[in-house]
């Protein structure tokens, strides 16, 4: 690899370095922890305008950046598998259904976007985009766009593009901007704490 494309260590690998004998165990533990955080983030609802805000997209992108594209993607696939077998891990489960029928409904495209966004933000983090506020914000913006593209297109196939934008995009832009700003501060701050701890 050239210096320009060489991967930087992720936050997870800095806090818990990989060891040859425990690589799989480490990956499984981190993926399970990440899927539990995603589950919790889907259930947290913060009063906001014009719709209540969940922390799920925030968790998706932060996990992607903290874990890197491979482990971040694997964590999201584990989370989706948990939902597919009927665990109530998504925002409106079990109230609006569970399992594959729920995943094939209006939110199906966003769920696909979650996995793609985690991998994209993880890839950018491995290129050092999680070390500064501006680059982290840019990586989060890319991740948000990746969530919305399949999400809105999937929803448009069900209710039409105009309504998909009206109900599946516009109401969430302000809350996503808040979460983007929070994540953009969090990642560089975490790296700053690690740097201080190491002297």
Q: What is the CATH number of the domain that holds 152?
A: 1.10.1760.20
Distance of alpha carbon 71 from alpha carbon 43, whole angstroms? 23
Distance of alpha carbon 183 from alpha carbon 61, whole angstroms? 8
Is pLDDT above 90 for 35? yes
Per the structure, how many domains does the chain have? 1
Q: pTM value?
A: 0.91
Query: Scanning the structure block, which residue is given the tokens 């700053």?
Result: 192
Question: What is the pLDDT, as a whole number, of residue 20?
Answer: 67
Distance of alpha carbon 28 from alpha carbon 84, whole angstroms? 19
Q: Is residue 6 part of a domain?
A: no
pLDDT band at 5 (very low <50, low <70, confident <90, very high): very low
Q: What pLDDT, in 10s, does the model give residues 69-114?
A: 999 999 999 999 999 999 999 998 999 899 999 999 999 999 999 9
Q: Is residue 5 part of a domain?
A: no
Q: Rounded to the nearest 10 degrees, what angle do helices 133-159 and 108-125 cross at?
A: 160
Contacts of 128 (CB under 8 A, 6+ apart): 8, 135
């Amino acid at each position: 690899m050239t210096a320009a494309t060489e991967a930087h260590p992720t936050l997870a690998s800095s806090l818990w370095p990989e060891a040859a004998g425990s690589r799989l165990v480490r990956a499984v533990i981190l993926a399970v922890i990440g899927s539990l955080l995603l589950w919790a983030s889907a259930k947290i609802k913060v009063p906001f305008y014009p719709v209540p805000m969940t922390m799920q997209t925030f968790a998706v992108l932060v996990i992607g950046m903290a874990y890197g594209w491979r482990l971040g993607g694997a964590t999201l696939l584990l989370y989706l598998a948990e939902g597919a077998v009927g665990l109530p891990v998504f925002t409106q489960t079990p109230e609006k259904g569970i399992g594959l029928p729920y995943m094939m409904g209006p939110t199906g495209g966003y769920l696909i976007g979650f996995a793609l966004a985690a991998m994209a933000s993880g890839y950018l983090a491995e290129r050092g985009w999680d070390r500064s506020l501006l680059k982290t914000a840019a990586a989060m913006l890319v991740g948000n766009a990746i969530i919305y593209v399949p999400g809105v297109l999937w929803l448009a196939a069900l209710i039409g593009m105009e309504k998909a934008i009206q109900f599946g995009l516009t109401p969430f832009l302000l809350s996503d901007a808040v979460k983007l700003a929070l994540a953009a501060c969090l990642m560089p701050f975490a790296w700053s704490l690690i740097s201080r701890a190491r002297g």
